Amino acid sequence: MEVMFDDSLITGNDTIDTQHKELIDRIAAFVSCCERGDSKIQAIRMLDYMDEYTNFHFAAEEKLQEEVEYPGIKEHKAKHEEFKGNIAELYEFLDESEGPTEQFTETVKKNVVDWLMYHIKSFDRSVAEYINMRDSADRL
């Protein structure tokens, strides 16, 4: 599976888009590690690498939403919590297993890759559109 940032993921907000590129790079590294069936230690290391940037990125996005008083912030934060829960489940699985299995990799694709792609195209795009609208209203 190729996990890559492409034009369909552009929200129009430079900060968000730049961070999404980094996050997707880290997710791609984790997915490759799972697909290769790397060791448990390596998989946990790559999950840490991804998780670290996820937390940074979600915090940045939430701060941005607070600054612009985005009306959908509560629902958006709840979605971020859902994703964090998905990651916590991946940690639990790795903890209890020998390493990444095929089934685990499928779960990663669904709960990390597909989840994020959809989130970017819907939730994050709405934030970017709101900021754009707000900025152009300010210029009037």
- State which residue, 99 or 117, has the beta carbon closest to Fe ion: 117
User: Are residues 113 and 27 in contact, defined by beta-carbon separation less than 8 angstroms?
Assistant: yes
**CA nearest 27: which of 45, 11, 49, 9?**
49
Least distance to Fe ion from the beta carbon of 61, Å? Answer: 5
Least distance to Fe ion from the beta carbon of 40, Å? Answer: 30
Binding site for Fe ion (CB under 5 A): 61, 124
Say which residues have a Cβ less than 8 Å from residue 112's Cβ, sequence separation at least 6: 27, 30, 31, 50, 83, 86, 87, 90
